[in-house]
């Protein structure tokens, strides 16, 4: 069923609130087998809200709205939806009882304008709000459905899962199953080119590529009559994809690279330490964002200056003078020193030119060297990044460190 999502609220247009509702609903609706065709955002203006609903219904049979169901005068989504679908508003005693009980339970006084929220379209299927005061509802006319939910994400998500999902399941005969394949070390255009034969001949499952700061993803989706059929089709396509780009895949479950690496470290009970120069502790910060990593991550040193590299890691002055701080030789001495002081199973170092200045023809901005000791293996990887910005260079360096660990533990 073709579906549109309409977000109501002037604060969204002003950029005062990030619209997370649309992302959430798009993901959930796709899983339920609904084709999300449009996203609309409109301010608290009844005529424009009505115009957007009519516009959406020109190409869609289902419109989901969020926002505009509160007790104040600018909350008019309910009234507009009722008018567009040719219904009338009536006081619903059972909804009023629920509202009264909610305020009594929370020790609050219910004002007269809160009673407005118990006035609903006469034909509406009402959805209770377990996390707030604004009920939601579904209304239909001539095969067109509108589902209206409150704007606060906590209220919307609970109402959607508890009330709206069961309602929508009765309207869809198909189920969509998909997997997000995460890749590092290959660009989106390269990924598409590698998979062009599969993409050109796709019917179901479908493949779509996405770029994301320093990495890219592949979505494999299938719409079938049952979850089992859809999953089998996706898994069969995934096997074909692995044969082509398997070396670049680090997750088939939409995990971040740091999550994959930390899980491996914890499962294998490996200890890890880091010595960072150009990334300034970003690698250590990424690891410590993952719950439970304290059992593996032992220490993170930021040795930004040459003096720190010598004092903390034992890098030789002759090495720095002859090869420079940004060199394979320095990266290896950094990781060797880190191994000596930490004794960890996995030791990693990084040194490079983050920019925007400081580069040279021999060592351009975006060049980094990553040293790694993992068990008996010792290696150094040279990475030359395209110079986007200092922030991007540092971010990509951390991803490169994680990728190197992931492929060697």
284-311: per-residue pLDDT in tens?
999 999 999 999 999 999 999 999 999 9
Confidence of residue 71 (pLDDT cuts 50, 70, 90): confident
Q: Is the pLDDT reported for residue 173 higher than 80?
A: no
Minimal CA–CA distance to 176: which of 231, 240, 217, 218? Answer: 231
CB-based burial, 375-388: b 16+ in 10 Å, e otherwise:
eeeeebbebebebe
Q: Hey, what are 249's tokens?
A: 């895949």
> CA-to-CA distance for 393 and 223, rounded, in angstroms?
39
pLDDT tens digits, 113-130: 888 899 999 999 999 998
pLDDT tens digits, 322-362: 999 999 999 999 999 999 999 999 999 999 999 999 999 99
Q: What is the CA 381 to chain-centroid distance, rounded?
A: 29
Confidence of residue 74 (pLDDT cuts 50, 70, 90): confident
Mean pLDDT of all residues in the chain? 95
Q: Hey, what are 35's tokens?
A: 């084709």
> CA-to-CA distance for 386 and 367, rounded, in angstroms?
9
Confidence of residue 112 (pLDDT cuts 50, 70, 90): confident
Q: Is the pLDDT reported for residue 105 higher than 90?
A: no
Phi, psi angle pair for 302, to nearest 5°? -105, 105
Q: Is the pLDDT reported for residue 187 higher than 80?
A: yes
> Lowest-pLDDT range, 70-79, 169-178, 306-315, 364-373?
169-178
> CA-to-CA distance for 351 and 332, rounded, in angstroms?
10
């Amino acid at each position: 069923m073709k579906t549109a999502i309409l977000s109501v609220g002037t604060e969204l247009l002003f950029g005062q609130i990030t619209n997370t509702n649309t992302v959430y609903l798009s993901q959930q609706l796709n899983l339920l087998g609904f084709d999300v065709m449009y996203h609309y955002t409109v301010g608290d203006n009844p005529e424009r809200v009505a115009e957007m609903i009519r516009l959406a219904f020109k190409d869609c049979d289902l419109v989901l709205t969020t926002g505009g169901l509160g007790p104040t005068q600018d909350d008019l989504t309910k009234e507009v939806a009722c008018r567009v679908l040719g219904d009338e508003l009536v006081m619903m005693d059972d909804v009023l009882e629920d509202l009264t009980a909610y305020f009594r339970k929370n020790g609050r006084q219910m004002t007269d304008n809160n009673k407005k929220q118990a006035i609903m379209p006469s034909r509406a299927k009402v959805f209770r709000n377990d996390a707030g005061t604004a009920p939601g509802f579904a209304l239909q006319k001539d095969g067109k459905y509108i589902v209206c939910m409150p704007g606060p994400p906590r209220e919307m998500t609970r109402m959607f899962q508890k009330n709206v999902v069961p309602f929508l399941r009765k309207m869809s005969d198909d189920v969509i199953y998909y997997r997000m394949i995460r890749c590092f070390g290959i660009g989106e255009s390269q990924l598409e080119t590698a998979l062009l034969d599969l993409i050109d001949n796709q019917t179901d499952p479908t493949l779509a590529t996405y770029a994301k700061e320093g990495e890219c993803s592949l979505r494999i989706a299938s719409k079938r009559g049952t979850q089992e059929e859809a999953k089998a089709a996706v898994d069969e396509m995934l096997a074909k994809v692995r044969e082509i780009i398997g070396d670049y895949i680090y997750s088939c479950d939409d995990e971040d690279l740091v999550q994959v690496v930390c899980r491996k470290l914890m499962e294998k009970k490996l200890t890890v330490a880091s010595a960072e120069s150009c990334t300034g502790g970003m690698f250590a910060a990424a690891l410590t964002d993952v719950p439970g990593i304290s059992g593996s991550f032992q220490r993170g040193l930021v040795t930004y200056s040459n003096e720190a590299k010598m004092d903390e890691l034992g890098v030789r002055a002759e090495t720095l003078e002859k090869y420079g701080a940004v060199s394979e030789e320095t990266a290896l001495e950094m990781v060797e020193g880190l191994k000596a002081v930490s004794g960890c199973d996995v030791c990693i170092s990084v040194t490079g030119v983050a920019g925007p200045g400081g580069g040279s023809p021999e060592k351009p901005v975006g060049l980094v060297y990553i040293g790694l000791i993992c068990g008996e293996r010792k290696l150094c990887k040279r990475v030359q990044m395209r110079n986007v910005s200092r922030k991007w260079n540092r971010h990509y360096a951390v991803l490169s460190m994680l990728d190197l660990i992931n492929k060697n533990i």
